[in-house]
Amino acid sequence: MPRIGDPAPAFTAVTTQGDITFPADYAGKWVIFFSHPADFTPVCTSEFMTFASMQQEFAAYNTELVGLSVDGLYSHIAWLRTIKEKIAFRGMKDVEVTFPLIEDVSMRIAEMYGMIMPGEDSTKAVRAVFVIDPEGRIRTVIYYPLSLGRNFDELLRVIKALQTADHFSVATPADWRPGEPVIVPPAGSCGTAKERMDGHDDGVTCADWFFCTKEIPADAVEAAIRAKGTA
């Protein structure tokens, strides 16, 4: 099973949008690579409609979507057509899924990424999420059981937080959203720690030597990570 910081395992695959070579085809992009248990299932249907409806929001942050299940290509196509033609959910209807959905009947790719968990189901992939950066490294791994639909606001928050941390060389605290204070890396020396505690590190506020924050306005965060995505 790949871990955070590992290169994303490479593969070629057939998808609903043609053949892909992963992650090479997405060099320079962030990717949310996710699995779902099966076509024509209600939780998965709600998730695909939500992903498709948010696709442009993710694209604004230089992020592509790639899905996978262990069903075949023709099943994928029929299911996605059914979603567009028949399904309405939370105000979404006529939803067209245009991001690739990988065929993985052999479970080769699902097993490569640790998406098959026999304790949950030996023939279906769990709801795995891998966030992969523009260099093809795995930056976040999230797993949900078959019964639990994903939180899509959280997935978008993860993308924004990772890009903010990279761009500004900071960390983000619990429940962070753009515009809220970010965490400044701990001081590397006693002198730096004292300067911070004495208020000499411009813009940095410290509760103690190891817990220091600074403000980055929401518009500055959004402008920086969106600009980097279109550069």
Binding-site annotation, residues for substrate: 127
Q: Which residues are annotated as a binding site?
A: 127
For 134, list phi and psi in degrees, rounded to 5.
-65, -15
SS3 state of residue 159: helix
User: How many Cβ atoms sit within 10 Å of the Cβ of residue 191?
Assistant: 9
Return the H-helix or E-strand segment holding 41: none
Residue type, 222: E
Query: What separation in angstroms does the CA of 124 have from each of 24, 26, 184, 189?
Result: 26, 26, 42, 51
Number of alpha carbons in the 13 Å side-chain half-sphere of residue 11: 18
The DSSP secondary structure of 11-26, one letter per residue, reads EEE-BBTB-EEETGGG
**Rounded distance, CA 147 to CA 122, Å?**
15
Query: What separation in angstroms does the CA of 56 have from each of 7, 50, 92, 97, 133?
Result: 26, 11, 15, 12, 18
User: What residues are labeled active site?
Assistant: 44
For 219, list phi and psi in degrees, rounded to 5.
-70, -30
**Rounded distance, CA 29 to CA 31, Å?**
6
